[in-house]
Each structure stands twice: as structure tokens, then as C-alpha cells.
Chain A
Amino acid sequence: MIRAVLVDDEPNNLENLKIMLANYCPDVSVIGEAASVRQAIELVSLLDPELLFLDIEMPGESGFDLLSQMKSIRFEVIFVTAYNNYALKAIKFNALDYILKPIDTTDLTEAVKRAKQRLADKSQVEFTRLALQNLQLPCKSKRIALASADKIEFFDIHTIVRCLGENNYTRFFFENGESCLISKPLSEYEELLSDFDFIRVHKSHLVNGYKISSFIKKDGGYIITSDGCSVPVSRRKKDELLERMKILLK
């Protein structure tokens, strides 16, 4: 049995999640419910649960605030959120797990299944801890969590030179010449890295703006990245690229 605590400011949501867990996830036992961040902190401290279902948007303090106030984190988290791009972005950025409201039964059972696997694997628990710490870092010092086939790792964003989209996969190329293949489409990372001056120069290429060494006009336009690779620039993206580079130069 996974001992879980639910955190949501709306009693209806708490009740609903509890019923759905009872119906679809018999191996989760709800040992506590909290309606605010402060309540949750006390409750979690006391009950030491293994799993936290955490609503993000609550009046006063958000679910993220809760995590930042915990002295140590010894549980897995499944975020529960309605519609909030900003928070979802942060969650995806750290490869954390979430479900959307209204709750889809398959989403719920899958998320619980994954949490169970993570709980069974020590290294995964450690990852969650790292991810939750990273979540609270100021934007510019953040690292991104990339989940490849066998592991999840954190990378400094400024070490990423470029990303190459290959169907449902994205290959990351790093400063030190290494690369890794991640099973998520490029468009997802275009979104996640948009605040870090990454530029989509081509339908298959996303490039770190700070790693562009030069722009060559020949052959329909391409750029040379700091690792010496040439990356094609699509016709439609050329103007945008130059605009963005001007801003970066300032």
C-alpha cells in the first residue's frame, strides 16, 4: 500500500480524487488530506507519506511553495492541476509527473503506476528530490531534466548547443561534444526552452542563441554553432533569427 496525502483547497476536489483513488488505485491508501499549504506541511511532517497529490493553484501559497518550505523531501509528488501553462511548464521542465483536472482515469492509474516504480527505485527517489530542488531555483540558474531510455539526468542549459528533432525524438548536442536522445518531440523543448533564447531555426533544428558563432548567407542561409556544426536555417525563419540575434547582441 502506498500511503498518500492529498492537498487541494477545494473540498470537492479532495473528495473526488479520493473516490477515484479508491475505485481505480486500490494500492493507494489516503492517510491524510490538507486544504492549504500550511496544513499540508504539518500533516506531511507528521504522517511521513510516500506520495503527495499536490494541487498547484491554491489561494495564498501554491503547491510549489509547499515544496520550498519542506526541510527535506522524502516522498514522491504527483501534481494535480487545472489549466495553468506556467506551472505545467515548470513541471515538464523537471520531468516531474502531473495529472490534469478533470481527472482522466487512465492518466491517474498510469501516474500512480509510475510513482510506484519510482518509490521502488532509490535512485529515482533521489531524482525527484533533485527535481523538486531545481523547481525552486531562479530561472536563469535552472537545469533541465532530460529523460532518456534508461535514466533521467539534469543538464545546465548553457551547455546545450542545439537540438535535433527526429520524429517523436529529440537529440540534444552538448558543448563537450556529447549527445543524447530523448523520447519527446522537438516542439515540446521549443516551448520549454523558449525563455532561454533558444531559436527554432528550422523544422528539425532548435539552437541555443548564445551558441551561434556565425550566420552564413550562402546556400539559402545556415548558421555555424560553437561546436563547429552547420545548421540549416529555413527561409521563413531567417528574418526572425536575425531579429533575435540583434537583441541577444545587446
Chain B
Amino acid sequence: MSKLKLNLRPALFTFLLIAWGCTPMKAKNTDHSTFLFHCERYEEGINHFEGTKYLSLSFLIKTQSSRREQIYTAKLQKAIVSYSHSSGRNTSRYYESGDWVSTEMPGYLELAVRFLERNPVIFGFHSGQFVLENGDSLKTAFDKEVKIFYPGTLIRPPGQNDEFFSFDQFLNIFRNIRQDLPDDLKMPGDLSLRNGVVYNYRNAFNDLQQIEITDSRNHTRSIVYVRPGSNRLKYKKEQSLRVQTIIRAIETGEPSIRVAGLMPKERNKKLQYIIEGASPLVPAQKILVHADSTGKFSILLDHDFPVILTSSSGYRFYAEPGDDFSVTANQRGDSLFFTGIGAGNNRFIQEEARLEKFPKMDYHSRSNQTREAWFRKADQSTNRCLVLLKIYQNDLTPRFYESQYLNYYFGKINRKLDYLFGYVELNQQGIRKRKYTGLDTIPAQYQSFVYNREFNKFLENNFILQFEKLRDFTYATNFQSTEIPTQPEMLRLAALSYSGKILRDYFEFAVQRIDRSGNADDKTVLKNLIQEYFDNTPFQTKVLQLLEKASLLETGSLFPDITFKDLTASDVRLTQFKGKLLYLMFWRNDALVLDKQWDEYQQLIKTLDAKNVLFVTIGMEENFDKWKKYVEAMPVNGMNLFVDRNSETFLANFSRLKSRHFLLVDGSGIIVNNNGPDPSVANLLISQNPGSSGKEKILTATLFCFLAILIILGMIGIISRTRRKRKAKIETLLNRLRETELKAIKAQMNPHFLFNSLNSIQNLINQQQVEAANMYLSKFARLLHAVLQHSEKEFIPLAAELETLNLYVQLEKLRFNFDYQLSVNPSIDIHNSYIPPLLMQPFIENAILHGLQPKQGEKKLGINIEENDKQLVCTIEDNGIGRNGSQSKKTDHHGMGNKLSIERIYLLNQKNESNFKLSIDDRESGIEGTRVTISFTNNLI
């Protein structure tokens, strides 16, 4: 490749056109089998969004024939082609690989082609008769595809076999990850010690150089090991500088990471950087960096773990402790240049970003072919990344190299899992639903894993948990358990991921699980692991803290001796009630305890108060006075205590409580149930906790409870029977109401109206009244929108109803003209007054079709909305032929729509106990026409 590069450099404007099938190495510009031609312009630029390079070629192409059907075609790779035609028409279009550029226009056509791929570009012409014209024009006709190589091609698709893994092979990947690691990265027996910070690289390699560090801040001495003897001289030098920086950082408190930048485009700007800590449980951190008037800035960080810096403008740097590099950007800010310690890692990141991204999975596709193609492509893309990683290996730090390496592998594994499970997203009515379609290919006993939602939530995009999934699979398939990654190994792998997110997730999951199981052994195991793997790191402290928190207030432990406050603000300690069974209810005011629940609680106290049980409510509040006020207003007589929920003691002991949480503490102060039953199942309390009182008392209490429950049940039975009856009645009413509502919608969408409206619009088109056609078409669409939308609702704002009616009337007006007036009393809040959708429409339709249409002369329709004494009054008036007139014309004035509306109003009144009133009258004497009035109390919502 480099040879080719050299050949091409002197003649930048010269391209090699090689017959398809020639290998690049044969392609010398003296070779007779190649053609030379010059293109007009050649430009290599960088796509400022994607950071990818593009190649731009411009040709002036003149079609030989002036016949209109002349077709020019070219087969392209992914490219953007800008046309500028002699007719003056300019446009740009995007072409995929294999697309054909074609035009049917005669005359000159200037094509500017920008190739978007860095791979060799196939560019050719398909037996077209055309002229390529420039200073040194080439006039020829091709009937072969032609290949152009351009300089700077870095990555060739690897010649590896990109076959799919079988499921077994896939399992093997997990087992073989260690074997797959390059030799110089393969770790000796003790794996654990690669996880810590740089100065914890103990025993990670066989031949380490020992450096002693004295930390003047906390007067400790530690031993640092550096890897010597690498044949990578540059790396060695860099690494020793890195270590020096760390030593200096520890001794003097100077920052351990330095990034200096010069970005002219960002001058005088405040750049926001987000630091993603590689150390788990270190939350992402935001820093503001000021770039000066020339765009210079510097970032100093004191971290003992690698970080990723992401700027708000999209730059991304990776830095390890001891790194000291500078980054220079070009004027446009789309190309970065790194020098210094840690530059290599960043150069790789930049280069990797320029590789072709693998396509996003077409989750909508259920076709196996598409999915296989995607999978193959994605895997190829990962392979390309791996090739690039190998090329860059000597420039990268081992930590970075290994984490990248593993990332690529786990990427493959995750994809394979999705692929195996036939994961697709279905697009149904705009809502995405996820589904695993490949289930029939998975044995039935594994399918539950796929459908367990809780389980999957953790699994997605989280490889550690994929391990778990896999372990379950392997157990089920009788794989030897020794083959499965052990927990230490999983931890090690997780710690290697420089993002830290995975480890964080893993620990959250582990802690939650331990929390649930309450198994003390689990906790010890986890604690030991953490101590072993993360000694003396801030991470360790944090994880242990988290774990400690989880262990508090568990069943079997002693209830902490804490001072609470009672209503008189004096101190109360629960230890003073030793010998009594404590039933503690922790609650928060903002969690809304309904009156009913307080009643239940009160009931319980009354029933069992004498039974040596002490009931205490503990308000977890911020403000004592507020709490007091609230407690005094509530119907509970028991002991009420207050604890400040922001206090240290609270946070240390109770922060994991639910907002309504019951605790049972026995006579000796031991928590017998850390998640006690609700008052409604209080009999459990007695049978579970003998406490210190005699058995008789318990028996009495149980009996009492039993009787009480019997009576309550009986009463509930009677009440629920009457309720059921009423409910059934309401159900039938509701069903009928829904039916009439649907019919009302159908009435509005009546086919006669729909097709006649469309016909009127067609008429406008034929009359070439384009603007009017456009206008009515969009009105028509809007009416459909509105009707569809409102059909789901029981009540809609009056404003929406009026808008719908307006659209409807305007479309009717298109069919035959009449005067239309809508008046609404401005004092009515039409946006917050509600009406059943389409209630008025049938009457309006009647007025138009049966009142106005048959009439000669002036036609008027009026809709009037008033509010009187909280009653909304809607009046629909027409000056049509009136009810008598229409009867004599033998049209059914009380059309289907009217009947429906009348039934709907009847049902609404039944169901909502509302007071809709409807009257249909002739207008006052002397005026022809009909008046319909609908009125109801304006309180539907």
C-alpha cells in the first residue's frame, strides 16, 4: 500500500483507472493496462460532522447525443453527487454503494462527486457513450467497471473469515478470552492487581521495575512497579515520564493529568467537559474550561484512574494518570493533532472514529436475511477496529489497549446474543415494541430468561450480566461449571473496562441482590472480593460504604438506639420501652397516607392496645412544626415521634426505608421483621412475634381478630353485593354510551359527506384553483385528525369542539353556500369548559341538509354559545324550511344523527347524573326555520 501511495503522490491530480480485477500492486502508472485522465478539481477534505475524510472529484461530462432519452450512468460507492446542469438546475443527492447515478437530461452536466468511504472506491461507467472533458480529455467508451485507488487508504477489510459463530463457538469465546489476548498482554497467575490505579500495577507483568514512592501527604510509602524491557522505546520513555508525573503528583499535590489545548475555533469560549471516571462509583463530573483569545486552554486533573473527557462541542480525550499531552486543532476544529505523553491513545481514538461505523441494527426488520447481513457487517466493522488496534498497538498504553480489545470482543458477544434471540423492535402505530422473534429456535426452558422483564432490564448492553445470562444457560445445558468465568474473573474484566459504567452497574446489581436475599455469607464474599481487588483505592471505600448501608436494619439485628422527638419536642428513645413489642410505622407526609389508612391504623391500635404492643408512628420529616400540625390533625392516638430526615443519624440508619415502612422490634430490641405487614394484615404480627407476654393473651388477640375479621367480611359482603348491582347497571349504560358515541363519529364521517367533500376538492383541482384546492384539502385532513383524536375521549374542551365544527361547516359550505355565524360569549372560558365530542354536529348537519339546502333565497346558519347561571347553552338556528316544510318534502328531518344525539344525551344523563337538556323548536312566529338548544351544567370535569 505504501508503495502505491508513493507512486500517486507526485501526481495528485492523476488517477489510476485500472481494469476491474487488477491488484493494486500491479498498478503502476507506467503500466499499459491503466488509463490516465485528469479531472478538473481534486480535493480531499474532512467531513466536519462525522470526522470522516472524503474525496471530491469534479468532472465535466458532456453527453454526446442531444436526444432527450440519453442516459448517463455511473456505478458509485457511497457518495454524494452534486449536479449542476446546463439548464441551471442544481441539486445534491446521496448515493449508496451500488446505486446508479442517472440523468435523462441532455446537455452539459457538471458532476461533483464526494466519496464518503475511505475504502477503495469503485467508480465506473456502464457502457455509456459520453465525453469526459477537461484540459487533457479522454474520449473513450467503457464497457467495464473501473477501479480508482486514492492515496491514504489505510484500512483494508481484513481477509479473515467472517463466518457466524455457532452457539457453541460463541460460548467458547467467553472461555477463550484470556487465550485470545496477545502474548505480551496475557497475564500471569495473579490477575487481580491490574485493576487498581497506575501505581498499583503490581505483579501485572513478570519483569517489573520497582520504584519506591513516599507520599508526603499522608506519610505513607508505597512501591510502584513499571514495566521495563519493552522493545517499544518510545513507550518506555513515555511510561517512565508518566510515572515521574505520578510521583510528583503524590509528593507535591500537583495534578496528575495535564491536557493542554489550542483550538482556534473555540477561542474566548467556555468549554464544558464531562469527566467520566474510569473508577466505578465515581460519578461523572463536569468542569468548565476557559479558552483564551487564541483558543488556548489547559485542563489539570488529579485523578488516580483513567478518565474520558468529553467536551460539549463533541471532542473526546482519554487520559491516564501521568498523562501530559497537548492537542492542537485546525482552524475549523475538525482535525486534531496530539503530542506528548498519552498522545498515542488519543490518536487511536481519533482514527477509530473515522472508520466506517457499523450500521445501526435494523430492529424493525424481521427478515433473517437483513439481520444476517447486519450482523456480518457489524462484525466486519469490529474486525476493522481490531486491525486498527493492532496497527496502533505500539503507541498505546497496555491498559488502554487491553480495555479496547475487550470492548471489541464484548461488542461482538452482545450482538451475537441479540442476534441469537432474534431481538427486534416492532414499529406498531408509532409505538416501538421490543420483541424477541427468534424464540422458537431457543429451547423452551431458556425462553423464560428472554421474557423475564426484570432480568432483561439488567442484561441489556451490560456484558457482565450477559455472563450471568450465559451462566444460567450453561447450567441448563450441563456445561461444566469450572468453565464458567468465576466471580473474581468477572470483576477483573469489569474493572478493565475504562468506562467504569459496567462495574458500577454490576455492583449496584450485586448489592441489590444481597439486600434482597439478606444472606450474610454473600456479603462477606463480596466484601472480601472488594478488599482483595481494590485495596487502598477510593473506589473500595465507596463500595464498602454502599455495602454497609445495605446491611443496616436487617431482620435479626439490633434496632439502633436513636433519639426521636415527641409532640412536645422532648427526646424519646425507644430503648426505654424494653419488654414491649414495638410496631413502628415510618411514614412521610409527602407520601400521602390516605385518611382511610389512618383509620385502619387507628382501628388496629384500639383492638390490640392492651396486648403489650406499643404502636409508634415515626414521621420522617424536615420541619418539626409542620409535622406536629399534621399529626395533631390526624385521627391517631398512639405514640407519634419525629425524626429529621436530613440528620446524620437518619441518613446513616433509615435512608433505605420506603416512604411508608413497618418495622417490628421485639422486647429485647431486636428487629424481628424489617419489612413488617400493613395494619390490614395485622394478625400476622401476633402469630409471628410471641414477645414476652403469655400465650393466652396471644390467643385472645387472635380470636378477637378472627371475630372482627368475620364481622367485617360479612358487612363487606352485603355492601359489595349492592355495589355490584349498581356497577353492573353502570356497565351496561357505559357500553350503550360507547356505542352511541361511535355511531356519532360514524355519522360525521358519513360516506356521503366524505366523498362529496373529496368530489368538491377534485372540482377545484379541475378548475385549476390550486390554492383553494390546497386549502380545502388541508381542512379536510384537519377534520379527520380532529375526529380521530376526539373519538377516544369522553369530554373535550369546548374550544376544540368549536374548531371541529368550524372545519365541518366550511367543508359543507364548499358544497353549497350559506351564511354562517358562530358567536360565543367572550366571558366563557372555552378552553376550560368541556363538552362531549361531536354532540352538536348532527343537529348542524340536519340544519344544513334538511333545513337550508332545500330552501331558495337567503340561507343562514347560526351557532350561539352562552353561559347562564353555570349552564352552558348552545343554540343552533337556521332559517331553513322548518320542520313542517321538511316533512312535507318527505325528508326525514329527525335523521339518524338526531336520534343518536337524543339517545346519547339520555345516556349521559343516566351515567353522569348530569342534566343535559335538549329542545328542538320552530323559530318564533314570522321567521321560518328551526332552533335546537342543548344546555347543561358547565361542570363536566
Restricting to A167-217, which residues have a CB under 8 Å from any CB of B?
A: 167-168, 185-187, 200, 202-204, 210-215, 217
Q: For the complex, give the distance between the alpha carbons of A202 and B941 in Å.
A: 6
**CB < 8 Å: which of A60, A72, A168, A202 contacts B362?**
A60
State which of B364, B781, B788, B831 has its C-beta within 8 Å of the C-beta of A186. Answer: B831
A138 close to B (CB within 8 Å): no
Interface-lining segment among B90-98, B150-158, B195-203, B554-562: B90-98
In the bound complex, residues from chain B placing their C-beta under 8 Å from that of A141 are none
Given contacts A71-B314, A72-B49, contact A100 B833 (CB under 8 A): no
Q: How far is the CA of A41 from the CA of B590 in the complex (A)?
A: 47
> Given A57-B430, A59-B364, does the pair A46, B92 have CB atoms closer than 8 Å?
yes
A185–B93 touching, CB < 8 Å: no
Whether the pair B50, A45 counts as a contact (CB closer than 8 A) is yes
Given known pairs A32-B93, A34-B94, A43-B80, the reply for A226 and B832 (CB within 8 Å) is no
Interface residues of B in 212-233 (CB under 8 A from A): none
Q: B184 an interface residue at 8 Å Cβ cutoff?
A: no
Q: How far is the CA of A102 from the CA of B782 in the complex (A)?
A: 9
Verify B49–A217 contact, CB threshold 8 A: no
Q: Given A86-B431, A107-B778, A200-B941, does the pair A61, B833 have CB atoms closer than 8 Å? A: no
Distance in angstroms from B707 CB to nearest chain A CB is 28
Among A111-119, A148-156, A232-240, the stretch in contact with B? A232-240
| A12 CB within 8 Å of chain B | no
Q: With A45-B50, A249-B591 known to touch, is A236 a contact of B774 (CB < 8 Å)?
A: no
Q: State in angstroms the CA–CA spacing of A32 and B91 once bound together.
A: 6
**B780 → chain A closest CB, angstroms:** 8
How far is B310's CA from A71's CA once the two chains are assembled, in angstroms?
12
Residues of B close to A212: CB separation below 8 A: 592
Identify which of residues 47-90 in chain A touch chain B, using a CB-to-CB cut-off of 8 Å. 47-48, 57, 59-61, 65, 69-72, 83-87
A70 contacts B831, C-beta separation under 8 Å: no
Contact at B314–A104, with CB atoms within 8 Å? no
Contact B50 A71 (CB under 8 A): yes
CB neighbours (8 Å) of B775 from chain A are: 104-105
With known contacts A70-B49, A72-B49, A187-B797, A102–B777 Cβ distance under 8 A: yes
Q: Which of A217, A248, A249 contacts B595 (CB 8 A)?
A: A217
A61 CA / B364 CA spacing, docked (Å):
9
Residues of B within 8 A of A45 (CB): 47-50
Known: A33-B93, A60-B362, A215-B592. A203 touches B774 (CB 8 A): no
Question: Which residues from B are CB-within-8-Å of A100?
Answer: 778, 781-782, 785
Contacts of A44 in B (CB 8 A): 49
In the complex, the answer to whether B91 meets A31 with C-beta atoms within 8 Å is yes
**Chain B minimum-CB-distance residue to A68:** B360
A187–B831 CB distance below 8 A: yes
> B30 an interface residue at 8 Å Cβ cutoff?
no
Q: List B761-801 residues whose CB lies under 8 Å from chain A.
A: 771, 774-775, 777-778, 781-782, 785, 788-789, 796-797, 799-800
Instruction: Tell me the total A-B contact number using a CB cutoff of 8 A.
Output: 150
Is B327 part of the binding interface, using a Cβ–Cβ cutoff of 8 Å?
A: no
B782 contacts which chain A residues (CB < 8 A)? 100, 104
In the bound assembly, the distance between CA atoms of A101 and B782 in angstroms comes to 9
In contact, A71 and B49 (Cβ under 8 angstroms): yes
In the complex, are the beta carbons of A167 and B778 less than 8 A apart? no
Q: Which of B565-600 contact A (CB under 8 A)?
A: 589-592, 594-595
B834 interface residue (CB < 8 Å to A): yes
Q: Do residues A214 and B940 form an inter-chain contact, with CB atoms below 8 A?
A: no
In whole angstroms, what is the CA distance A86 to B429 when docked?
9
Nearest residue (CB) in B for A5 is B92
Q: B114 to chain A: which residues have CB within 8 Å?
A: 46
B778 and A102 contacting across the interface, CB-CB below 8 Å: yes
Known: A105-B774, A185-B797. A203 touches B49 (CB 8 A): no
- Indicate if A242 sits at the interface (CB-CB under 8 A): yes
Q: Which interface class (under 10, 10 to 19, 20 to 34, 35 or more) fits B?
A: 35 or more
Set of chain A residues within 8 Å of B48, measured between Cβ atoms: 45, 48
**Contact partner, A203, options B359, B429, B595, B939, Cβ 8 Å:** B939
Inter-chain contacts of A211 with B (CB < 8 A): 590
B778 touches A168 (CB 8 A): no
Min CB–CB distance A220 → chain B (angstroms) = 11
Contact partner of A165 among B630, B771, B789, B832, CB < 8 A?
B832
A42 lies within 8 A of chain B by Cβ:
yes
Instruction: Let me know if A166 is at the binding interface, CB within 8 A.
Output: yes
Chain A residue with Cβ nearest B90: A31
Contacts of A85 in B (CB 8 A): 430, 789
User: Within the assembled complex, what's the spacing in Å between the Cα atoms of A69 and B50?
Assistant: 10
**A242→B430 contact, CB < 8 A:** no
Residue interface mask A223-250, B partner, CB < 8 A = 1: 0001000000011110000100110110
Q: Is B589 within 8 A of A213, CB to CB?
A: yes
Q: Is the CB of A46 within 8 A of B47?
A: yes
Taking CB atoms and an 8 Å cut-off, the chain B residues in 787-831 that contact chain A are: 788-789, 796-797, 799-800, 829-831
Interface centre among B49, B116, B788, B912 (most CB of A within 10 A): B49
Known: A102-B778, A105-B774, A203-B833. A249 touches B592 (CB 8 A): yes
Which of A42, A104, A186, A235 is the one whose CB lies under 8 Å from B939?
A235
> In chain A, what residue has the closest Cβ to B357?
A69
What's the Cα separation between A246 and B775 when bound, in Å?
Answer: 49
A43, B50: Cβ atoms under 8 Å? no
Interface residues of A in 1-59 (CB under 8 A from B): 20, 30-34, 38-48, 57, 59
Chain A CB within 8 A of B660 CB: yes
- B51 CB contacts on chain A under 8 angstroms: 71
Question: Which of B92, B590, B777 is packed against the most chain A CB atoms within 10 Å?
Answer: B92
Out of B360, B789, B832, which one reaches A61, CB within 8 Å? Answer: B360
Instruction: Determine whether the beta carbon of B49 is less than 8 Å from that of A39.
Output: no
Contacts of A186 in B (CB 8 A): 831-832
Q: Which residue of B lies closest to A216 (CB)?
A: B595
Say yes or no for B366: interface residue by CB 8 A criterion: no
Closest CB of chain A to B344's CB: distance in Å?
24
Interface membership of B477, Cβ < 8 A: no
B592 neighbours in A (Cβ, 8 Å):
212-215, 245, 248-249
A108 vs chain B, min Cβ distance (A): 10
- How long is the Cα–Cα vector from A42 to B50 in the complex, in angstroms? 8
A96 interface residue (CB < 8 Å to B): no
Q: Tell me how far the C-beta of B361 lies from the nearest C-beta in chain A, rounded to whole angstroms.
A: 10
Chain A residues contacting B799 (CB-CB under 8 Å) are: 168, 185
Chain B residues lying within 8 Å of A147, measured Cβ to Cβ, are none
CB-CB under 8 A from B90, the residues of chain A are: 31
Q: Is A103 interfacial (CB 8 A cutoff)?
A: yes
Return the chain B residue nearest A31 by Cβ: B92
Residues of A within 8 A of B912 (CB): 236
**Chain A residues with CB below 8 A from B778, complex form:** 100, 102-105, 107
CA distance A204 to B939 in the complex (A): 11
Whether A226 contacts B829 by the Cβ 8 Å rule is: no
Q: Tell me which residues across on chain B come within 8 A of A105, comparing CB atoms.
A: 771, 774-775, 778
B residues sitting closer than 8 Å to A (CB atoms) are 47-51, 54, 78, 80, 90-94, 96, 114, 116, 313-314, 359-360, 362, 364-365, 429-431, 589-592, 594-595, 630, 660, 771, 774-775, 777-778, 781-782, 785, 788-789, 796-797, 799-800, 829-834, 912, 939-941
Those 3 A-B pairs whose CB atoms lie nearest each other, nearest first: A185-B831, A45-B49, A104-B778
With A84-B430, A214-B630 given, can you name 20 additional A-B contacts, CB distance below 8 Å?
A20-B774, A32-B91, A32-B93, A42-B94, A71-B49, A71-B314, A72-B49, A100-B781, A103-B774, A107-B778, A165-B832, A185-B799, A187-B800, A202-B941, A214-B592, A234-B941, A236-B939, A245-B592, A249-B594, A249-B660
28 sample A-B contacts, Cβ–Cβ < 8 Å, listed by A number: A31-B91, A31-B92, A32-B94, A34-B94, A38-B359, A39-B94, A40-B94, A45-B47, A45-B48, A46-B80, A47-B92, A48-B48, A60-B365, A65-B360, A71-B49, A72-B49, A84-B430, A100-B785, A102-B774, A165-B829, A165-B831, A186-B831, A215-B595, A236-B941, A245-B592, A245-B594, A249-B591, A249-B660
